[in-house]
Amino acid sequence: MPELPEGTINAFIQNKNLAKYGLLKDNEGGFLAENFVDYQLIDRHETLEEIVAVGWMSDFHPFNKDLVADPSPKILVIVDREQTYGDFWRVCLTAEAQEREMKAINAEQEEARLLAEAIEAERLRVEEEARKAATAVYDDSPIVAKAYASETRDETFEDVAALDVVPERPLMQFQLSRPADSIGEPRVFADLSADNEMFTESRSTKNPDFALERREMSVSVQACKVKKDTGSQTWTRPIQASTQYHPVGDAYQLPPPPPESKRERQASRQKLVNGKKGQVEEDTSLMTEDQLNERKKAAERDRSYAHVARFLAKTFGLMENALEQNETVDVFGDLFKGTGAGAEDLEASKGALGELKELRTFADINRTKGKHLHSLQWHPARKGVVAVGPRSNLTFEDRLPSSGFSSSSHVLYWDFADLITPLLVLEAPYSVEAFAINTERPHLVCGGLENGQVLVWDTSASTQAIDAKRQREKRRLAGESTKDDEEAALFDDEVRPPLEALAMASLGDHKVEHCHRRSVTQVVWLPKNAQIDYKGRLLEEEYQGEHSNQFVSISLDGQLLFWDLRFEDIARGKHPKVGRRMRGSTDVGADGKLKAVPWQPLWKCHLAHPAGVGELGLCHMVNAFVGVGDDPIPSTEEDVPDVVPDHRCRFIACSEDGELLSGDWAAVSEDDSEPAYVTWAAKDHPRPALALQQCALLRDHLLTCAERHFHVWLFGQKQPAFKSPRTAKLSCVAWSPTRAGVVFCGRADGGLDVWDLCDDPERPIGSFRVASSAITSMSFQSDLLPGEYDQLLALGDEQGNLHVFDVPLPLRKPKASDIDTFKAFIQAEIDWEVKSQERMAAQKEAAENAKAAAPAEGDAEEEPAAEEEAPKDGEFDFSEAELEADNAAYAKLQRKLAQEMDIRLLESGLRDWSYEPQPEQPAQ
């Protein structure tokens, strides 16, 4: 929807008041848009009196202050029949807007008047021609032949001439000759067979008249490398710890000196002056041309040496540090020596990272083909079982015709033992946008739907039937089958229908909405000690129960909804400490049974932006921060004990606007107002985040991902600790569960990038081709593994295929110092960012002080200019053109050095002289 023109606002005018304000063409014509006037000027004084008389019942009451501030005698109301700006009427609030809109209206009316006059003139012309044709008198005079004259004669000649080929150069002449004695010789023609009407065979013949004589020469040719002279570093003792640097291009040659600046020319001139003006050290008038050239070359050589000396003085510390680090790397040693018994032979694998071996590929032609797997989770209690949630790839335009209609969706359980048939199929009446398996009770699965509802499946009966079938198969193979096993085996081949939901949330009625207003984006099971009551307070331990019964759902509508599986018992008053009793929950129906109780959220938490503008649509959330940063806060009073932070209700989430926000759903307010559940929100990505991951080894480290970057956040910080360089288009990320600092990034082209932030934070250390389409989900599994595997990686792609890979040893085996190294890396990034902010703040303060001091200097009386004297040592005057030339030369050298050393100036905090931002203009 376009923005409203400046000085105008949408207005909702009731139909009963349209005639009173004169906004209808015909008072009996109804309230259709065709019956609205184009515009109307309403008396401002009468309108203000109406607002004073009826107050908020007046249609102009919402912008009363703007009307009072406007001195115009009339109020301009403009119709918007197409509702381009959202409503039928627009009101001009300022005189400038009224004048601008009236000019536009008058221009449209003038254009319409001219168009009507043109139409009327054309109608009169056609009528006049028809009248003349009807009253025409036939003239029976003879036809006189005349010469044909074409109006397009010249254009036709030009078109024909353009098709002709006109030579642009003189024609070349060739002369072909043959010996006269070869003319008139007999020729033999071959017959063409009847079945071959197109081709004839022409065999090669030897004509001695046209024989080509060649001379043979004995010449030997051999290809060899180009010979060049190079130098190498030497070492005094034979150890396997030296690193060879090969010079790049002509780096070993002395670089040419930069052009001599005005400062250097004046310094050279000052050097020639020996105390007194005009006394030169050496007279060059008697030197020959060769001596002058030698002297000039020596001066350039001295300047080159001085230039290199200044460069080495600046970079000596960095070079020394690099040489010290080079000696600590054993370039000839075995990187994976001592990895333990039973380790794979890495020499046979592909590269230093090993081979990402694909073990299984699962696909269901009816339920997942052509759909992307948006959700993926390993089963917490069964070996080799992965649950996936497929979702249609239809675009918004393709989904519009079927919007509002129910279409079944599924969650599939895949088992390593069966590549064709899913182990379980969970069915839902709408598209499943997210699901989660309860880790304490894995037979319970909660899901969020596209229409905002949530539901729960109970897979206990189905899993028991599967386990019983497998036990019967084991007994049959062992020869221990019983008669009951044989009878039960008769029904094993029957196809099990999809499992329907155990309970589904109620949408509510026309007064109250019990579910989300928009699509559910994620569901998270709450730990047992983090369960809440109907007021959002944490439950005491005696009321928590044996297992967790609650989960939370997030959506793009900015709400956190908390759901309890015991909703029927709570509604009937069996858990008064958890929820309130529902009226009519104990009523008995016509069948003699208790009436069904609608499933409603236990508690709703509406999130508001800390800035107070708009609602926060959530995309991803993590809430496992118990034990993270729980150091006691010392009390300032003696009798008051230290406060221990409670993070059971803390959460970190990504919003629809690309922000990362921190909140606490147990927050309270000092007064009766709505608590501020969101403590802070910071900009993370320009678009909504594709993933939010929590490090399994360091739970205070978070990972967010967008299409071209991924960021690492530290819990409690309000800005990212690390920002990756621009990468290929990403679609999902996952943190390694065993190696801190190793991040797996799925790409939109089906590739998989592996980043080791401790080793090289500028580029991935390895890339693998794992799928033919975009990777949409990713999950690791290090426990309950089938076979001899140590770590598995499951990937879901855009075409509905589930790929399972065996992670190679270098990417899964942790190092002794992984965690400490990664902590040090993140802390170094934070310290660098703090120093950069302080440096920019100091520069800004210095610029403001200089700007403030400039007017004071201008007010001072100008002193008479002193006589020009020879500049002192270190004091030189430069023009703006010379300064710009010097800056351009330095910027060129800086860009060349940054390109050769692969330095990103802006990202590293260095000043880029090739780009100078313009100073901010003072506000008018």
Cα separation, 10 vs 148, in Å, equals 67
Q: HSE on the CB side for 179, CA within 13 Å? A: 7
The proportion of the chain whose per-residue pLDDT surpasses 70, expressed as a percent, equals: 77
Please give the structure tokens belonging to residue 756.
Answer: 């080791």
Question: In three state form, how does the secondary structure of 274-291 look?
Answer: CCCCCCECCCCCCCCHHH
Cα separation, 361 vs 370, in Å, equals 15
Residue 388's pLDDT band (cuts 50, 70, 90): very high
Q: What is the pLDDT of residues 292-306, one digit of tens each?
A: 888 888 887 777 777
pLDDT value of position 833: 86
Name the DSSP class of 794: E
pLDDT value of position 591: 78
- Mean pLDDT computed over 48-67: 83
CA 508 and chain centroid, separation: 36
Residue linked to tokens 């004669």? 153
Phi-psi region of 558 (alpha: psi -120 to 50; beta: other; left: phi over 0): left
Which residues, at least 6 apart from 401, have a Cβ–Cβ distance to it below 8 Å? none
Cα separation, 755 vs 768, in Å, equals 12
Cα separation, 534 vs 577, in Å, equals 8
- Mean pLDDT computed over 459-478: 85
Cα separation, 457 vs 366, in Å, equals 21
| Cβ neighbours, 10 Å, residue 66 | 15
Cα separation, 43 vs 52, in Å, equals 15
Q: Are 805 and 785 in contact (CB under 8 A)?
A: no
Q: What is the pLDDT of residues 400-448, one digit of tens each?
A: 777 777 778 899 999 988 888 898 999 998 889 999 999 999 999 999 9
Q: What is the pLDDT of residues 554-609, one digit of tens each?
A: 998 888 999 999 888 888 888 888 888 888 777 777 777 888 888 889 999 988 88
Distances (CA, A) of 734 to 726, 808, 835: 18, 16, 30
Statement: residue 524 has pLDDT above 90:
yes
Distances (CA, A) of 907 to 231, 386, 620, 719, 902: 35, 41, 28, 15, 12
Q: In what order do the strands lie in the sheet with 550-555?
A: 520-525, 550-555, 559-564, 603-606
Q: What is the pLDDT of residues 711-722, one digit of tens each?
A: 999 888 888 999
CB-count burial class (<10 Å; 0-12, 13-18, 19+) for 898 = middle
Name which of 80-84, 402-406, 657-661, 817-821 the model is least confident about: 402-406
The proportion of the chain whose per-residue pLDDT surpasses 90, expressed as a percent, equals: 15
- Full DSSP string of 278-336: T-BSS--TT--HHHHHHHHHHHHHHHHHHHHHHHHHHHHHHHHHHHHHHHT--TTS-TT
More confident residue, 290 or 337: 290
CA dihedral 162→164→166→167, nearest 10 degrees, is 140
Q: HSE on the CB side for 324, CA within 13 Å? A: 6
Residue 23's pLDDT band (cuts 50, 70, 90): confident
Residue 350's pLDDT band (cuts 50, 70, 90): very low
Residue 247's pLDDT band (cuts 50, 70, 90): very low
Which residues, at least 6 apart from 435, have a Cβ–Cβ distance to it below 8 Å? 375, 377, 387, 389, 411, 426, 445, 446, 447, 448, 523
- Full DSSP string of 114-143: HHHHHHHHHHHHHHHHHHHHHT-----PPP
Q: Are 803 and 751 in contact (CB under 8 A)?
A: no
